[in-house]
Amino acid sequence: MTRRVRTAPPPPGYPCSAADLIRFLEGRGFRLVHVATHCKLRDGIGRTVVVPNHAHLAKGTYYRIVSQVSQSS
């Protein structure tokens, strides 16, 4: 028997909105804990990710958040 390894969904492609990135993070086990001019998400062991509320995220912001989440898993 072969084991199937469950892999996390790939991040949405750039360019994307904050809503797309938040949906991706929620699929990775993060939950929304605060919403203001930014959205704060936290996972089960307390790691926090902050996503600004923008219709179009800047390239640097997008890649910083995706790499931060990829390193934490």
Query: How confident is the model over 8-28, as a mean pLDDT?
Result: 83
Which CATH number belongs to the domain containing residue 44 in this structure?
Answer: 3.30.920.30
Do the domain assignments include residue 13? Answer: no
The pTM of the full predicted model, rounded to 2 decimals, is 0.74
Which residues lie closer than 8 Å to 2 by C-beta, 6 or more apart? none
**Domains contained in the chain, number:** 1
Question: What count of Cα atoms within 13 Å lies in the side-chain half-sphere of residue 27?
Answer: 14
Range of the domain at 50: 18-72
Using one digit for the tens of pLDDT, what is the confidence trace for 22-58? 988 888 889 999 998 899 999 888 889 999 998 888 9
The DSSP element (H or E) to which 64 belongs, if any, is helix 59-72
Nearest C-alpha neighbor of 16 from the set 25, 7, 29, 8: 25
Do the domain assignments include residue 32? Answer: yes
Tokens 């390193």 locate to 71
